[in-house]
Amino acid sequence: MKQSPDKTDFSDARVLADLERVGYLPRVWIAPQQLRELRTLVRDRQQLAAQRRNLKLPIGALLREHRLRSSHNRWTRAWHAWLEHQAQLPEQARWVMQQRLRRLAWIVQEIRTVEERLEQVTASDATIRWLRTIKGIGPVTAWTLRAEIGRFDRFRTGKQLARYCGLTPCNRSSGAREADASLIRAANPELRRVLIEAAWLLARLQPRWRELAQRLKAKGKLSTVAIAAVANRFVRWLYHEGVRQQAAA
């Protein structure tokens, strides 16, 4: 920051003191112990879900390699029965498939165990109970929002919260031309992912967000862009409602 090779603890302390004096040092919010414990559980579930996804992809690839397709929806009981008794896989491919399905079943059970633990830990959490009353917000989204955001009132505005969630577009303005680009990358990817997934449900289930998405699509916006805008506006709305809920708790 000083841009000088002459660096000592004393000079650094003076620079930090000057920055604090003029109000240039940002405040940092440290999550309480209970919230950090919740993050541990939520992130453990996220890692298990990623492992489940990484197993499902090669299972589908193996079936495509042997040109096998079922009339049943994938991962249902009927599909599993078809895969076990009717899919004509060669011997070694069958063995590999069984090993992957065995590991997949173990991971699915582990995810259920973590979710049961999360239900127990958050049973008395008023913020999570309120989040789950919102149509389109399920338990996984509520747990992730609570764990990663913590308190809504630690942000000054809904716009600041949306940027923290990675739902703000990059600015690509130049001269008199004003334009936005893709979403910023400096954010928690899992938090952004669950909010984008929630926005797809919100655009289907709630008239307010469905109208916003339809209005943006009518202007020529892609569906993905419209859903990202829905997620952005929803988070801003969530900020104001969350501040009121936590103030009343």
pTM: 0.84
Q: What is the pLDDT of residues 194-213, one digit of tens each?
A: 999 999 999 999 999 999 99
**Ranges of the chain with pLDDT below 70:** 1-5, 172-175, 177-180
So what's the pLDDT on residue 4? 67
- Secondary structure of the chain in the HEC alphabet? CCCCCCCCHHHHHHHHHHHHHCCCCCCCCCCCHHHHHHHHHHHHHHHHHHHHHHHHHHHHHHHHHCCCCCCCCCCCHHHHHHHHHCCCCCHHHHHHHHHHHHHHHHHHHHHHHHHHHHHHHCCCCHHHHHHHCCCCCCHHHHHHHHHHHCCHHHCCCHHHHHHHCCCCEEECCECCECCEEEECCCCCHHHHHHHHHHHHHHHHHCHHHHHHHHHHHHCCCCHHHHHHHHHHHHHHHHHHHHHHHHHHC
User: 145-185 pLDDT, tens per residue?
Assistant: 999 999 999 999 999 999 999 998 877 666 676 666 778 78
The pLDDT of residue 178 = 66
The predicted pLDDT at position 179 comes to 63
